[in-house]
Chains A and B, each alone.
Chain A
Amino acid sequence: MNPTSWSAAVLVSAGRHPVTGIARACRGDAIALALGRQLAGDALRVVHAGPASEPSLQDYLAHGAGSIEAIDHPPGQELVHALLPALRDVDVLVTGSRTETGAGSGLVPYALAQALGRPMIANVLEAKVESGRITVRQYLPKGKRRRISVAMPVVLAVHPLANVELTYAYARRQSGRIVKVEVETAAPATEPLPPEPAWRIEDVPRRPLQLKAREKLSGHARMQAAISQVSKSGRVVNDGDSVGKAQVILAYLRDHRLIDC
């Protein structure tokens, strides 16, 4: 369990309850933390970008983080730039799939992997380290799972369905520490990016509008559309014995490649 030759870190963000807004651990990040602890045990570093006073960090202590490094970056500086110096030597970087506040775009692990020049695997359900390589099980929709092996260093974004046990211990919450890390505010070597358009947040809850193609129809055509019933039903098989009917179903399944025989 205790890695000596490689290091691991997990990124945890500030969570908010979706209805009450109460600060708590972001669920996906707590799952990522648990998966990281399965991999690296107590050697796992836990890193947060933001002020050390963030109330939800206490929850991560209770979920098993021994100490949390809070990297306070000046507002305006890119999160990825702030995190990079602390993560350069990490062999296995574990993140959640998306944050609970803000855009929750899930882009942070991709951007970090690109900045660090490392392979990145999303939707990770399980991970195992063997002699410098890491083998993961990846979630795919429709009950499919993929196994991938990759050489370290690597970035893994954990899927919320990962098979881990979330524990909560009040004693750990009391004994854990939050360490504030200062970052040197060296300007990034690259040219400043052009200013990006800012998000305009509408607080008034409303349903999103669906985009529809506008159709210019004559009055007659619209009337026809309203009164005529277009039955879009498919093929109906009424005749034949049940064997013939079963063959029709089998042929349909084969035509659409829904069956493997």
Chain B
Amino acid sequence: MSNVKRCNSRRPESQMPNGRRRIDLRAAALAAAQFAAVQPPPENLKPLRQRDEIRVWHMAIAHSDRGRLDDHARQTIAAAAILAGPDTGVVAIVLGDFTGNPAELGCDHICELPDFDAARFQPDAETAAVMGLITRYQAKHVFLPDKPGGDGDLGRRLIVSVGQLGGTNTIEIDAHGIGVAWSGGAAIARIPLPRIMLLAPGTVDARLPFAGRAERTEVVRDAAVAPNIDAYRDLGVAQLDAAQVALEEADFIVSGGNGVLKIETLKRLAGVLGAAVGASRVAVDDGRFQRDQQIGASGKTVSASTYVAVGISGAIQHVQGIKDCRHVIAINGDPSAPIIKRADLSIIGDAEDVMQALISEVAAARRSRNAQEAA
């Protein structure tokens, strides 16, 4: 770990009459500030995908998680947008609340249905509401993520309601048609683009060079679709104890590397956060963690929403294992460690001190919340 400040080797310089270089630090600081000032904000860099009148609609449907759409859901909207012609609009139906930027995702229309968030099980009412929107938009093609949770279930219900051949477990898609994994992935089977298709993760690159118009559509509650048409009685969702959940399935992981000296502190932190415990290879090889806790190229690939990397340098073999993690938080003593490039939030400091402080902060927050609830 080094606390030495690195200096920019390409600072502005001038040639002195005697042939030596002269670096003026004040000028360098000024130039850096000016450069930062002329950079336009990145949001409005992308042009609109289409400006014509919309005649046809592509529809993408996904459940949100805590107000966000994950990468798989974004890929699904991207597919709808990339395959859309100049007269085709893209409407995204978000089941649950949505706080993201719909233009960035390529949506021309966005329609939120907060009553149908993933926590509730009301498949009949949900299918009826979505079928209503498919009819209202006369959607030519409908795209959903093929996920084991709500989206895959909803998609299959839609396919049998529509009564036409649909695509499930789609691993390839282009303007001509789709390819699905046949016989467990032994072959690819293709058909022309069906009305409804469920896309496997990674089928589409979610990055788009264009933006959508992002107009909000209000849904008028259809009186005919009463919310309690379901025969099912939902008895509630329970979260398995973090220790019981396999790492691949965990939603919150605290992971320790070579920089963690006291394993007990890390385990205590994982305990208060309700997180599963992972580790880097070096920490596993040292015997500080079990082999089945190793994350990375030669360990497990995880997809937790939150990944806290404590004392992990972030070698490429490790980062490969966390490519699907949405929020990466790094605690590291070295401001130039590669993990900082991957992390959404990086804390530079001693692992033990920060972990101890975080444990007491979370515990204090829990206490005050419990006190509030009791009051």
Please list the residues of chain A having a beta carbon within 8 angstroms of any beta carbon in chain B: 16, 18, 100-107, 110-111, 114, 119-123, 135, 138-151, 193, 196-203, 205-206, 208-213, 215, 217, 231-238, 241-243, 245-250, 252-253, 256-259, 261
A258 adjacent to B238 (CB under 8 Å): no
A96 to B78 alpha-carbon distance, docked (Å)? 32
Nearest A residue to B249 by beta-carbon distance?
A143
Question: Who on chain A is nearest to B230 by CB?
Answer: A119
CB < 8 Å neighbour of B210 from A139, A208, A213, A247: A213
Q: In the assembled complex, which residues on chain B have CB atoms less than 8 Å from the CB atom of A193?
A: 163
Chain A nearest CB: distance from B48 CB in Å?
14
> Are B343 and A234 in contact (CB-based, < 8 A)?
yes
Q: Which residue of A lies closest to B343 (CB)?
A: A234
Q: How far is the CA of A144 from the CA of B242 in the complex (A)?
A: 10
Would you mind naming 26 contact pairs between A and B with Cβ atoms under 8 Å apart? A18-B183, A101-B183, A103-B189, A105-B156, A106-B156, A110-B160, A119-B232, A122-B156, A143-B250, A144-B239, A149-B235, A151-B231, A200-B189, A201-B182, A202-B187, A210-B205, A211-B78, A217-B209, A232-B341, A234-B344, A235-B345, A236-B348, A252-B345, A256-B66, A258-B327, A259-B362
Q: Which residues on B sit within 8 Å (CB–CB) of A122?
A: 152-153, 156
Q: Are A249 and B345 in contact, with the CB atoms below 8 A?
A: yes
Q: Determine the chain B residues whose CB is within 8 A of the CB of A259 once the complex forms.
A: 273, 362
The answer to whether B361 touches A247 (Cβ under 8 A) is yes
**Smallest beta-carbon distance B307→chain A, Å:** 11
Q: Which residues of B contact A241 (CB under 8 A)?
A: 357
**Interface-central residue, B152, B345, B350, B358, by most chain A CB under 10 Å:** B345
Bound Cα distance from A107 to B197, whole angstroms: 12
Are B356 and A249 closer than 8 Å at their CB atoms?
no
Q: Report B-chain residues with C-beta under 8 Å of the C-beta of A247.
A: 361
When distances are taken between beta carbons in the complex, the residues of chain B under 8 Å from A100 are 183-184
Q: Which 8 A-B pairs have the closest CB atoms?
A: A246-B357, A143-B245, A234-B344, A147-B235, A208-B172, A142-B251, A242-B353, A246-B358
CB of B20 to closest CB in A, whole Å: 30
The answer to whether B208 and A213 touch across the interface, beta carbons within 8 angstroms, is yes
Given A210-B202, A213-B210, A261-B366, the answer on whether A142 and B250 have CB atoms closer than 8 Å is: yes
Q: Return the contact of A103 from the options B68, B180, B306 (Cβ within 8 A).
A: B180
A18 to B184, CA, bound (A): 7
B349 is an interface residue with CB less than 8 A from chain A: yes
- How far is A102 from B185 in the complex, measured between Cα atoms in Å? 10
Cα A248 to Cα B344 in complex, Å, equals 12
Question: In the complex the two chains form, what is the Cα distance from A253 to B66 in whole Å?
Answer: 12
Q: Give Cα distance in the complex from A208 to B179, angstroms.
A: 8
Known: A201-B187, A261-B369. A150 touches B231 (CB 8 A): yes
- When distances are taken between beta carbons in the complex, the residues of chain B under 8 Å from A249 are 308, 329, 345, 347, 354, 358, 361
Of B183, B252, B327, the most chain A CB neighbours within 10 A belong to B183
Q: Establish whether residues A234 and B345, one from each chain, have CB atoms under 8 Å apart when the complex forms.
A: yes
Chain A nearest CB from B230 CB (Å) reads 8
Once bound together, how far apart are the Cα atoms of A224 and B368, in whole Å?
A: 51
Q: Give chain A residues whose Cβ lies under 8 Å from the Cβ of B165.
A: 196-197
B149 near A208 (CB under 8 angstroms)? no
Asked whether B349 lies within 8 Å of A215 as measured between CB atoms, the reply is: no
Of A18, A123, A196, A233, which one neighbours B148 at CB under 8 angstroms?
A123
Residue pair A16, B183 in contact (C-beta under 8 Å): yes
